[in-house]
Amino acid sequence: MSDIEKKSIDPATIHMLKKAQADGCETIFDRADAMKPCPIGAEGSCCKNCVMGPCRVPKKKGDEKAKRVGLCGATAETISARNFARMVAAGTAAHSDHARGVTELFLSTAKGKVPGFEIKDEQKLYQLAMDLGVEIGNRSVKEVAIDVGQKALSEFGRQDGEILLAKRAPLKRQQIWRNLGITPRGIDREVVELLHRTCMGVDQEYQDLLYSAARCALADGWGGSMISTELQDVLFGTPVPVYGKINLGVLKKDEVNLVIHGHEPVLPEVIATVIHDPQIQKAAQAVGAKGINLTGMCCSANEVLMRHGIPVGGNFLQQELAIVTGVVDAMVVDVQCEMQSLAQVAKCYHTKLITTSPRAKIEGAVHIEFDEHRAPDIAKRIILEAVENFKNRKPNVDIPSETTDTVVGFSHETINYLLGGMFRASYRPLNDNIINGRIRGIAGVVGCNNARVTHDDPNFTLIKELIKNDVICLVTGCSAMSAGKGGLLTPEAARQYAGDGLASVCEAVGLPPVLHMGACVDNSRILMAATAVVKDGGLGDDISDLPAAGAALEWMSEKALAIGHYFVASGVFTVFGVTWPTSGSDVVTKHLFEEFENSVKGKWGFEPDPVKAAKLMIEHIDKKRKALGIDKARDRVLFDMAKRRELDAA
Ligand code: NFS
């Protein structure tokens, strides 16, 4: 096996890496070989929060008692916890700023100020109105929507009290947060306060920092991310199961290829509509193309895949490789997870890179700023940029043949409906199957790709291992795409990969054993699903009682750490891979891995090996089953008449 072949388990990725090498085009995979991570920074032992440093306080092998403090006296524990907390603050800021944009658009839509946008899911609007304390009565949809938009917007700047959606959590969970003083007050407030606390010379007690980080992370999961998911569903429709295709083979040689990459679904939604405009289709034909092929990359892809079945080009580590095919006429990006190197890779070929967010420009890209008031015009302009660029393709075109079929679109509401049917939608069948042991437990497998590990391998191997052991998997983000490319997102995968118990349940209701729930902000759907399972009864009275665990074995983004921390603070055992950001301090790591279980009833774990990580998660699930008294549960025995008579006679 050549070195390139060890970079990914995905043949399309390997194929494109070889092409990039032949074309002399550098990618993230080359840079990962050329530059190793700084070991001091990786273990969280570098403090650069003031300019007397950076102070380096790494662990010293063989001299564990060595004094480890920065110039100001900050201990290795403080430095480690501060670095951890800053990542959580940044991740929360990213999700929540995305949410703010969606909320502003929602409010403008409710007020009728942005033509082309509308309220698509009224039922979800009413549910949200109730949870935000907005009166419904005989009021019009418009009135309710305006109030919902205003209430949601004020959650960002709220200064005291509790964020409103925290009330969706099980009552016991809410009480745990209150007792620890970590119920978020307002979304922006928690981010700002955490940045303040982690400034030079402020909060210098590692426990205090870790719990403040939990409060901030909860403002993401039950605040910013949840608001994003909810309002996007109300605006663009709540996902229902839809068929889709994934991997670089979805690109087409004889069509104009426009790739939408990033995170905010607003512009992609408009592009997806405008693309059918006959004038635009004509323009494509005029340049000799058979049509226009819209595909997605990263979480924008998840959004439009879930709602429209638009094919997915690939996940985070494939963004440069889409361009390497030589057929991407334009790649349009907004915010988050867009590599700056896209501009350089685009130069090797003919691709036009277009930035659209007022918050994110890239040197070398064309900037066409999105404005919701002129959304259709801007969408048209972007599509036409791609169309015009079709004629500039160079001869070195090569598209991998790989695509995989998927069934996606499992919002929390859809799972409810699919399990219980239209007239008695509920999580009851799921709970029953967990109690009777056919389903051993639930796992959320989420997060990114990371160029420091074999692309897609940890995610795919972990998920396969979990479903083999009857653990149903809920997936989002780039990890969902690893599962999709590996063929795990179809109902047929149940028989092929899942244990007998899980397979029998999946086959009975036609579900895949791995349920794609959306983008990373949609991890809030997993919180809602877990809460629904608790509320349905029989499995304890808090999320921490459930036979459940979470994982992100290929994480790289600060957003992933924020997500992990809100899962932990919501009572979930969460395992991360690649590298552990507080490994420089055994004390801080022990607190997160062990002592957190006594307070927030959830805890962190670290295990880069996917098979071992699955084992850890399954052991935790079994521990929870035992605590619930369902560890010896068996399939219910159905008595026939003869057996009943025997019982009656006894
Ligand atoms: Ni999530 Fe989506 Fe992927 Fe990671 Fe980036 S695209 S928001 S951060 S890399 S899963």
CATH code, 388: 3.40.50.2030
Q: How many CB atoms lie within 10 A of CB 611?
A: 12
DSSP annotation of 221 = I
Cα–Cα distance for residue pair 43/40, rounded to 1 Å: 6
Domain boundary among 236, 263, 288: 236
CA 264–ligand 1 middle distance (angstroms): 12
Q: Where are the beta strands (DSSP E) in 124-238?
A: none
Quick check: CB of 298 below 6 Å from ligand 1?
yes
Ligand 1 pocket test, candidate residues 478, 555, 566, most atoms within 8 A of CB: 478
Whether 211 and 303 share a structural domain = no
Confirm whether 71 is domain-assigned: no
Q: Are strands 292-297 and 312-314 parallel, antiparallel or unpaired?
A: parallel
CA 283–ligand 1 middle distance (angstroms): 34
CA-nearest residue, atom 9 of ligand 1:
448
In this prediction, residue 428 carries a pLDDT of 87
Quick check: CB of 520 below 6 Å from ligand 1?
yes
In this prediction, residue 415 carries a pLDDT of 85
Cα–Cα distance for residue pair 575/292, rounded to 1 Å: 41
Ligand 1 pocket test, candidate residues 28, 315, 317, 448, most atoms within 8 A of CB: 448
Whether 213 and 263 share a structural domain = no
Confirm whether 409 is domain-assigned: no
Confirm whether 63 is domain-assigned: no
Confirm whether 33 is domain-assigned: yes
CA-nearest residue, atom 2 of ligand 1:
299
Q: What would the two tokens of residue 614 be?
A: 């699955």
In this prediction, residue 646 carries a pLDDT of 63
In this prediction, residue 1 carries a pLDDT of 65
Confirm whether 404 is domain-assigned: no
Q: How many CB atoms lie within 10 A of CB 196?
A: 12
In this prediction, residue 413 carries a pLDDT of 85
Number of domain units in the chain: 4
Cα–Cα distance for residue pair 351/258, rounded to 1 Å: 10
In this prediction, residue 481 carries a pLDDT of 97
Quick check: CB of 477 below 6 Å from ligand 1?
yes
Whether 537 and 443 share a structural domain = yes
Confirm whether 242 is domain-assigned: no
CATH code, 161: 1.20.1270.30
Whether 318 and 343 share a structural domain = yes
Whether 195 and 286 share a structural domain = no
Whether 457 and 586 share a structural domain = yes
CA-nearest residue, atom 6 of ligand 1:
298
Ligand 1 pocket test, candidate residues 297, 445, 558, 559, most atoms within 8 A of CB: 559
Peptide bond into 311 cis (omega under 30): no
Whether 486 and 586 share a structural domain = yes
What DSSP string describes 572-620? Answer: -EEEE-S--TTTT-HHHHHIIIIIHHHHTS-EEEE--SHHHHHHHHHHH
Residues of the chain scoring pLDDT < 50: 636
In this prediction, residue 639 carries a pLDDT of 58
Confirm whether 65 is domain-assigned: no
CA 556–ligand 1 middle distance (angstroms): 8
Quick check: CB of 559 below 6 Å from ligand 1?
yes
Q: Is 63 exposed, middle or buried (0-12, 13-18, 19+ CB in 10 A)?
A: exposed
In this prediction, residue 424 carries a pLDDT of 66
Whether 206 and 266 share a structural domain = no
Whether 440 and 562 share a structural domain = yes
In this prediction, residue 422 carries a pLDDT of 58
Whether 433 and 462 share a structural domain = yes
In this prediction, residue 320 carries a pLDDT of 98
Whether 486 and 456 share a structural domain = yes
Confirm whether 67 is domain-assigned: no
Cα–Cα distance for residue pair 567/447, rounded to 1 Å: 13
Ligand 1 pocket test, candidate residues 337, 342, 452, 456, most atoms within 8 A of CB: 337
Residue 331 belongs to what domain range? 248-392
Whether 145 and 287 share a structural domain = no
In this prediction, residue 418 carries a pLDDT of 79
